[in-house]
Amino acid sequence: MIKVGIVGGTGYTGVELLRILARHPGAELKVITSRGEAGTAVADMFPSLRGAVGLKFSDPKDAPLGECDVVFFATPNGIAMQQAGGLLASGVRVIDLAADFRIKDIALWEKWYGMTHASPELVAEAVYGLPEVNREAIRKARLVANPGCYPTATQLGFLPLVEAGCVDLGHLIADAKSGVSGAGRKAEIGILFSEASDNFKAYGVPGHRHLPEIRQGLAQFSGKPAEQIGLTFVPHLTPMIRGIHSTLYARITREEDFQTLFEKRFANEPFVDVLPPKSHPDTRSVRAANTCRVALHRPQGGDTLVVLSVIDNLVKGAAGQAVQNMNLMFGLDECSGLSQVPVLP
């Protein structure tokens, strides 16, 4: 059994990790940390886990994380980069669900995240944890940077087109919408029920910190420098708890059988579902599951392709993808612990 530790087990991605790992046949939860809730039973904070998780939260300074095989960081940005080095030196493998190791350009990361990077020497080693692209590197990794939720939905939607080089890389558009849980489990006026309910708004239009992450990935897929990737990315907040819907636009530069292109690219991907032509995936169809559903459209037969990509931001966009990466790192069945059928309604 893989001995698992979780740093930051009280947020939405933390409890999602607990939900998935509690029924994972190859993993054993050993340590869950929280400064504010140390000594509290996990099931007292999250009654949904009663009978499934018997641990109490540990104070991070006393937690035996070094005895684990893998430690997940479900923490705010800036925490994992301070602690990952010590764990790696102890032989523990690390999966960071925050953004500390996602962007390879340190100066660019510091610009977008507004802090000095504490472990720049680890950034080059970290493997970006998008299995559909980096599966073999993830298998060998000590440190995995789990992708963001918007970047997962957006990159998977663009992936076949960018790899094939059949669209204009200088004029890509991602119009993305997220449920309120994407903002985290915190008290903030903009995500209060009376503010977010019955409301819809864009945010981060001048620039969102997932933009350089997405651009970096698209550059990797295309083999072009990031400077040649012209991406307009606009996120929106929707009045729902879970889910991301990315509507992606790309101008065709070379004719292909685009539906076949998508079907072939994702034919062996267990967590990407290419829908039949004219389909319209909805976020409910992936709720609580580690699945990305995509559909392709060509409105009026014109020169613009529209890709619809939906995920659950807490699962394929965070905790589920992190467990998928753990499975790869430890030689388990990639789908182990991730067979949940989406929840409806």
Q: What is the per-residue pLDDT across 147-186, written as a single tens digit (0 to 9) for each?
A: 999 999 999 999 999 999 999 999 999 999 999 998 888 7
Catalytic residue among 149, 166, 292, 335, which?
149
Q: Are 10 and 16 in contact (CB under 8 A)?
A: no
Q: How far is residue 326 from each of residues 83, 116, 139, 143, 171, measured CA to CA in Å?
A: 19, 28, 9, 10, 35
Of 111, 100, 249, 239, the C-alpha closest to 182 is 239
Clarify whether 149 is annotated catalytic.
Answer: yes
Residue 295 pLDDT exceeds 80:
yes
Query: What's the pLDDT band for 83 if we cut at 50, 70, 90?
Result: very high
Cβ–Cβ under 8 Å, residues 220 and 104: no
pLDDT tens digit sequence for 184-210:
887 788 888 888 889 999 999 999 999
Amino acid at 301: G
* Amino acid sitting at position 3: K
Architecture, CATH, for domain 150-313: 2-Layer Sandwich (3.30)
Domain boundaries, the chain: 2-125, 150-313
Let me know if domain 2-125 sits in CATH 3.90.226.10.
no
| pLDDT value for 244 | 98
Measured between alpha carbons, how far is 234 from 232 in angstroms, rounded to an integer? 7
For all residues of the chain together, what is the average pLDDT? 96
**Residue range 130-146, pLDDT digits in tens:** 999 999 999 999 999 99
Residues 217-238 have a mean pLDDT of 96
Q: How far apart are CA 306 and CA 304, in angstroms?
A: 7
Q: What percent of the chain has pLDDT over 70?
A: 100
CA–CA dist 296, 156 (Å, integer)? 12
- Check residue 194 and give its pLDDT: 83
Q: What pLDDT is stored for residue 193 in this prediction? A: 84
Measuring CA to CA, how many Å separate 13 from each of 20, 287, 318? 11, 14, 7
Return the DSSP state at 275. Answer: P
Residue type (1 letter), 271 = F
Say which amino acid occupies 274: V
